[in-house]
Amino acid sequence: MKLLVCGGAGYVGSHCVRRLLAGGHEVVVFDNLCAGHREAVPASAGFVEGDLADADLLRRTLDGGGFDGALHFAAFLNVGESVNVPLKYYRNNVANTLNLLEALEASGVRRIVFSSTCAVYGEPPEMPIREDLPKNPINPYGTTKLAVEWMLRDACAAWGLGAVALRYFNAAGASADGVIGEDHDPEIHLIPLVLQVALGQREKIFIFGTDYPTPDGTCIRDYVHVEDLAEAHLRAIEGVAPGRFEAFNVGTGRGNSVREIIAAAREVTGHAIPAEETDRRPGDPPMLYAAPDKIGARFDWAPRYTEVRETIATAWAWHRANPRGFGK
């Protein structure tokens, strides 16, 4: 298939682009490089530097381009910022996605895979999280992702779009061959921050909250390897059902606490990784881990990385070889 990958220069998007190419698909990346890295896009993929706000450029890219489908990763993802500047998130994550959907409709493209998030569940009443639990996002980031899911659902019903929303848990790790990895600026995610301490770029890691109702008092998350996410996207775009909207959790089904992540990173890196306990970060649910059975049944997907230590080891290999990330 010929596939447009919006946000294909970002962390999850770039790993997916490599998997799509390896699967024999033709890929054109559409990315404004505000957070993505041109270096993360393989030379064999086409590249359009553009913003989804630019409806004309989208139309020109899609019209007559012979595209069979799209994957959409382009979004802002800083939960804290989304609370402080919500309309920036609605503009980029929702309004710009509307541009994309209108351009897909106009150019006759009828399949899409969308990067959604476990943040659509908010603070779920039970664990593990199944797809049919209530969707009650507790921050604008989660709300914008849920709003896009609703747009997709309605477009599927109205004009025959087939859409899959993949609700990721915590994307982690780097490509096993060490070619690409995670590089956010500023970095806000636990595993890369911990590894920056091991690299001597930070003095210590702050543990946000030690009084959660979890066995060791710190938050529990489901860290899913980015190459397992990529495999899920490949299977989803190949298997989209015409006229249907479907949503799936993508996680390992296992949770690890913040303390467990730090301990695993100490083992992997051999570095002491000093940690300081501090207050809770607002908006962090105590525990989030997936029931990944639905995607297993539908797309025969299962995570290959089930030990978070191995996921961290791939991240460490990349960060150690690329201490300045992609070098910006």
Catalytic annotation, residues: 141
Shortest reach from residue 253's CB to ligand UDP, in Å: 16
Is residue 131 near ligand UDP by the rule CB under 6 A? no
Is residue 180 near ligand UDP by the rule CB under 6 A? no
Name the DSSP class of 164.
Answer: E
Query: Is the Cβ of residue 28 or residue 191 nearer to ligand UDP in the bound state?
Result: 191
Q: How far is CA 117 from the centre of its chain?
A: 7
Considering only 16, 190, 226, 236, the residue that binds ligand UDP (CB under 6 A) is: 190
Is residue 205 near ligand UDP by the rule CB under 6 A? yes
Considering only 127, 188, 199, 302, the residue that binds ligand UDP (CB under 6 A) is: 188
Shortest reach from residue 150's CB to ligand UDP, in Å: 22
Q: How many residues bind ligand UDP (CB under 6 A)?
A: 15
Which two tokens mark 328? 């910006």
Query: Is the Cβ of residue 162 or residue 209 nearer to ligand UDP in the bound state?
Result: 209
Name residues whose C-beta falls within 8 Å of residue 240's C-beta, 6 or more positions apart in sequence: 69, 111, 112, 113, 162, 163, 164
Is residue 208 near ligand UDP by the rule CB under 6 A? yes
Tell me the window of 62-70, 130-138, 183-191, 320-328 that interacts with ligand UDP (CB under 6 A): 183-191
Is residue 189 near ligand UDP by the rule CB under 6 A? yes
Site residues for ligand UDP, 298-327, by CB under 6 A, read none
Q: Where are the beta strands (DSSP E) in the chain?
A: 2-6, 26-31, 46-49, 69-72, 111-117, 162-168, 170-172, 205-208, 220-221, 223-225, 245-250, 256-257, 275-278
Is residue 290 near ligand UDP by the rule CB under 6 A? no
Query: Is the Cβ of residue 155 or residue 288 nearer to ligand UDP in the bound state?
Result: 288
Query: Is the Cβ of residue 20 or residue 312 nearer to ligand UDP in the bound state?
Result: 312
Residue 55's identity, in one-letter code, is A
CB under 8 Å, gap of 24 or more: what pairs does 22-30 form? 23/234, 23/238, 25/1, 25/237, 26/1, 26/2, 27/2, 27/3, 28/2, 28/3, 28/4, 28/61, 28/65, 28/67, 29/5, 30/4, 30/5, 30/6, 30/58, 30/61, 30/74
For binding to ligand UDP (CB under 6 A), which residues are involved? Answer: 79, 170, 188-190, 193, 205-208, 219, 221, 258, 281, 284
